[in-house]
Structure 1
Amino acid sequence: MFTPKKRVSICLLFTASLPVLAEKAQEQKAFAFAPIVSSNPSMGTGLGVTSSYLYKTDENNPTSQLMGLAQYTDTDSYLVGTRNMMHFDDGKQRAMTAAWFLNINNDFNGAEFESESYGVFHRQSWQVADGWFAGIHGIAMWNNYSAQNDVGQDFIDLTGAEDNAVYGLGVNATYDSRDNFYYPMQGSLFEASTFSYLDAIGSDEDYDLLELKYSKYMTVRDKDVVALGYYGRYVSDEAPYSGESYLGRRSALRGFNAGEISGQRLSAVQAEYRYHLSEKWKLVGFAGVANIQGGTADENNKEGLYYSAGIGVRYALQPKDKVHLRLDVAFGNDDNQGFYIGLQEAF
């Protein structure tokens, strides 16, 4: 049986370039981007850019955000993605749309194979009470795998990865009392989402998913922040490998490469201390633990507890709305580690 080697996920800030912030004519609109150098054992080494555009659909609405990411590496692997979070109707309606395309030429300890994933997602929510939102969402994803040698085929057989097209519908509920969408200092956020991937609407797979998130933010020492987070993702027995819950996905335990350890049931808790140096700079320390059960984790004897801890730096690219460039390094058990950069907080 083929056993993939340990993988280290690394993403480095391009130190030869400073983040660029360009304010538009109207004060509430701003564009920011940061060039990056990325290095990942599965994707190789390359260049990329991440960006954030802040705007208002109306002066009475909260600030909306359009984010983008593009990356290309020396293994001819590439990633392109975008996400638009929009607020309108005096903040009583929210819409989030995302699209992505990912192509990786993998080489895991001699196992060479190509993996490709692309998809679109849209969520629409309406305020139903003070702080409470409810809505519907839909998703379409396509996943393709192609072995480039015999060992690569062994890896695909081991994980159960196979080509599929999945289409899902679901409902969501949210409670949001945060004082800021991008860098909250107090308040809480609760989100519950369901997905049903249905062969009745053309999906190759038929399974159900429940996703739960809760975050609590507390200001201490005037401007420092303590953040506590819970993340749970649970799929039914019929879920394929591509639909399982992965360590490392959605920042569920930084330090683990998404896809290496997966299962049907994932529960994770994290804590983070954000130390205020100035309005633009913060230092962060964090730790977390997760439990994963069922599915591929059971088949590959990887059920159990996983933990990680690390430190990070935040730089305010767009200080007015508190959008920060996030740089984290994390270390987990079994020699896992990771280095991350992004324009969102981990939770």
Structure 2
Amino acid sequence: MDNRFTPRMGIAFLSILTLPCHAISFLDPIDKQFDIGSYLAENAYGFLPVPMIITEPAVGYGGGIVGVFLHESAEEKEARKQKALASFDGGAQLMPAGVTAAGVAATQNGTWLAFAGHRHSWLKDSIRYIGGAGGGRFNIDIYSDLGGLLPSDRTISFGTETEGGAIFQHVQFRIAKTPLFLGLKQIWSHTSLSSDNPIVDAILRSTIGETMNNSGLGLQAEYDTRDNLFFPKNGYQASAEYMVYNKALGGDYNYQILRLDGQIFVPITEQWTIAFAGNYQDFSTNEYSLPPTARPFIELRGVPSFRYQGDQIAAAQTQVNYFITPRWTVSGFYGLGYRQQESLKDSSQTVDAYGVGFRYQLARRYGIHMGVDLAASKDDKAFYISMGSGF
């Protein structure tokens, strides 16, 4: 096993080493590799600074930083430590009671974001809560076929600027002692919208106004048997969500979104794992004037966000992971997305994306992996610094 501390790792985690560590070792006691698990668990101020190098084609190049804090009691920390010493993946099987993240980011096209969120569980993970808030400005190109006036393979694009803030929260309750959770979700936002195209800007102001309130309430169901919150190697997750956005809830618009998601992770051998993910979204409304970002879009690595919006969205992905060592993983992935747009004439479109990536197990006792994905589609190419599986 290679025990070298590489220059790439040194640069990526330099910010961690500048923090007070109170003589905590950054070498894992089992494999002697670079690891920040002890720092996260045993330093009262320990957190994981996740660098954000943004290459999302929809907003351009940029960067930022996210601080990830893990909250555990002394008893929980000791139980995780003992399991981590007993087996290489032992500690990663335990669910952290609380995770807090806060960050800022900005890109070259003027987009910026500041946010904070918290996830917590109670009663031996019988109740889960996630809440957060954020604000910023998003400069995004929207693509349209002008309601079906253009040929199915033609669209025009126009720039939009959305500025404002949003809050969200959802709570889930475990059913008996099963992996099934049922819950409620709430979202509220206040934003302003404009366009760099004078004609489009005039249309937006006359149809939806200068400011918008959007408020939604929904039901959730989730079945989750994954063996790790951050980087699963086995198990599956399936979820369904139905959100209702309505003027009666304090918003300015009436529409509904049904979303179905699924992931499955299958270990083939000790070194090979194959994973699949799927997503379906159905959008329905009787409104004629809606914000251009309201409709769902195809979500695939390598495909610009909001590039393919529609009333029905479907996407399927597969990813193969090869564990070179327990620390280092390389992967290849492929995804296919489909959209159906209802307008003067129904139109559909498909797009595929593919790429490769790698992960390094940064905190063994928590199962936290970080790395880079390189992805491409017919529209663009991008790379992502990712924490987790990439789905």
Query: Is the contact made by 1:39 and 1:46 (CA closer than 8 Å) also made in structure 2?
Result: yes
Instruction: Decide which of 355, 358, 362 is 1:313's aligned counterpart.
Output: 358
Match of 1:125 in 2: 172
Match of 1:62 in 2: 95
Gaps of 5+ in 2: 1-7, 17-35, 77-93, 143-155
The 1:102/1:245 distance shift into structure 2, 3 A limit, reads same
Instruction: Decide which of 4, 12, 20 is 1:18's aligned counterpart.
Output: 12
Amino acid in structure 2 at the alignment position of 1:102: G
- The CA distance in 2 between the partners of 1:317 and 1:155, in whole Å, is 50
1:87 aligns with 2:114: no
Instruction: Decide which of 306, 309, 322 is 1:262's aligned counterpart.
Output: 309
Instruction: Decide which of 135, 138, 141 is 1:101's aligned counterpart.
Output: 135
Query: Is the contact made by 2:57 and 2:303 (CA closer than 8 Å) also made in structure 1?
Result: no
Instruction: Give SS of 2:248's match.
Output: helix
Shift of 1:90: 0.8
The 1:59/1:234 distance shift into structure 2, 3 A limit, reads farther
- The CA distance in 1 between the partners of 2:61 and 2:10, in whole Å, is 16
After superposition, residues 202-241 of structure 1 pair within 5 angstroms as 202-238=250-286, 240=290, 241=292
Amino acid in structure 2 at the alignment position of 1:317: L
- The CA distance in 2 between the partners of 1:48 and 1:177, in whole Å, is 33
1:47 aligns with 2:63: yes
Instruction: Decide which of 51, 62, 65 is 1:35's aligned counterpart.
Output: 51
The 1:180/1:27 distance shift into structure 2, 3 A limit, reads farther
Shift of 1:29: 8.9
Instruction: Give SS of 1:17's match.
Output: helix
Shift of 1:175: 0.8
After superposition, residues 118-267 of structure 1 pair within 5 angstroms as 118-129=165-176, 130-150=178-198, 153=201, 163-238=211-286, 240=290, 241-248=292-299, 253-267=300-314
Match of 1:6 in 2: none
Instruction: Decide which of 334, 337, 346 is 2:381's aligned counterpart.
Output: 337
Which string of whole-angstrom CA distances, capped at 9 and with x for unpartnered residues, describes residues 221-270 of structure 1?
2143211111111111347332211123xxxx211111122011111111
Instruction: Give SS of 1:242's match.
Output: coil
Instruction: Give SS of 2:49's match.
Output: strand
The 1:54/1:41 distance shift into structure 2, 3 A limit, reads same
Match of 1:284 in 2: 331
Instruction: Give SS of 2:356's match.
Output: strand
Q: How many residues align?
A: 326
- The CA distance in 1 between the partners of 2:200 and 2:372, in whole Å, is 33
Amino acid in structure 2 at the alignment position of 1:140: W
Instruction: Give SS of 2:137's match.
Output: strand
Match of 1:4 in 2: none
Match of 1:328 in 2: 373
Query: Is the contact made by 2:271 and 2:324 (CA closer than 8 Å) also made in structure 1?
Result: no
Instruction: Give SS of 2:365's match.
Output: helix
Which stretch shows the higher mean deviation, 18-27 or 283-292?
18-27
Query: Is the contact made by 2:234 and 2:266 (CA closer than 8 Å) also made in structure 1?
Result: yes
The 1:27/1:100 distance shift into structure 2, 3 A limit, reads same
Query: Is the contact made by 2:169 and 2:185 (CA closer than 8 Å) also made in structure 1?
Result: yes
Which stretch shows the higher mean deviation, 14-23 or 161-170?
14-23
The 1:278/1:94 distance shift into structure 2, 3 A limit, reads same
**What is the aligned-residue identity percentage?**
22
Query: Is the contact made by 2:57 and 2:304 (CA closer than 8 Å) also made in structure 1?
Result: no
Shift of 1:199: 0.9
Instruction: Decide which of 62, 71, 77 is 2:111's aligned counterpart.
Output: 77
Which stretch shows the higher mean deviation, 163-172 or 187-196?
163-172
Question: How large is the RMSD of aligned CA atoms in angstroms?
Answer: 3.3
Shift of 1:273: 0.8
- The CA distance in 1 between the partners of 2:345 and 2:201, in whole Å, is 17
Shift of 1:156: 6.1
The 1:215/1:59 distance shift into structure 2, 3 A limit, reads farther
The 1:308/1:150 distance shift into structure 2, 3 A limit, reads same
Rg comparison, structure with higher value: 2
Indicate the structure with greater helix content.
Answer: 2
The 1:196/1:318 distance shift into structure 2, 3 A limit, reads same
Query: Is the contact made by 1:29 and 1:56 (CA closer than 8 Å) also made in structure 2?
Result: no
- The CA distance in 2 between the partners of 1:29 and 1:315, in whole Å, is 23
Shift of 1:41: 5.9
TM-score, normalised via structure 2 length: 0.73
Shift of 1:102: 3.0
- The CA distance in 1 between the partners of 2:219 and 2:102, in whole Å, is 26
- The CA distance in 2 between the partners of 1:117 and 1:15, in whole Å, is 37
Shift of 1:110: 10
